[in-house]
Amino acid sequence: MHGLFGSKKNNRTISKVLARDLGRHIYAVDLRNHGDSPHDQRHDYLAMAADVADFICQHGLKEPTLIGHSMGAKTAMVLALQEPDLVANMVAVDNAPVDARLSSEFPRYIQGMKKIDEAGVTRQTEADRILEDYEKNFTIRQFLLGNLHRPHGSSTQKFRVPLHILGKALDHMGDFPFMGSGETRFAKPSLFIRGTQSKYVPDEVIPLIGQLFPRFELASIDASHWVIAEKPEEFRQAVVQFLEPKE
């Protein structure tokens, strides 16, 4: 499960590698309002977790592992806590089960992407020039521009993601619907992978992770929030080691 503004395309390469190494089927999914999935006015973690639960049931998956990055990580956590019998274990990548405000760059991204939609661009290079005013990092711009497509019969490119829906949802994307009350816990194995250059999983939230996910392991990788893209081999090793049968 990808993060905000991502899609299943982001995880295509790492999915093939994990399928090879683990000898398991890997399903890369588009969460609602992203990629090829339907658009819906409701965009929150309870709704996304319910979508993934439906996907698991529709495909008859038995004891799957949930792997999610960022928004996908919180979706995985919510589903594991809500329906623990549906999953075997979970890997959460650079996010934690806490309420935290989203970084200010996300509203800025929405602004820039809306500007591109209004400009009626025909080439990605035009879109990139506009987005440069909102994000200096070329790699992040390319990630965001991966959502551009040319609608059938149109000469201009538009964003596939519904910017108005995601813009309204931003205030709640940092929320987490379960807090450490002691009643709701996921008692199966879980792995939390964090980027040491990222602020999403600071040391102070580790005790809270333990309250909700008492059998968790922690892997720290020298990377920013974009752990999988920056350090795919370290990520692969951490996941394979976690999922390999224990002695």
Task: Report the catalytic residues.
Answer: 70, 225
Q: Classify 90 as helix, strand or coil.
A: strand
CB 121 within 8 A of CB 130: yes
Give the whole-angstrom CA distance, residue 54 versus residue 56.
5
Handedness of CA 48, 49, 52, 53 (dihedral sign): negative
226: DSSP letter: -
Q: Which residues pair with 219 in a beta bridge?
A: 193
Give the whole-angstrom CA distance, residue 161 versus residue 167.
11
DSSP string, 20-40: HHHTS-----PPTTSTTSPP-
- φ, ψ of residue 89 to 5 degrees: the values are -165, 180
Give the whole-angstrom CA distance, residue 130 versus residue 140.
14
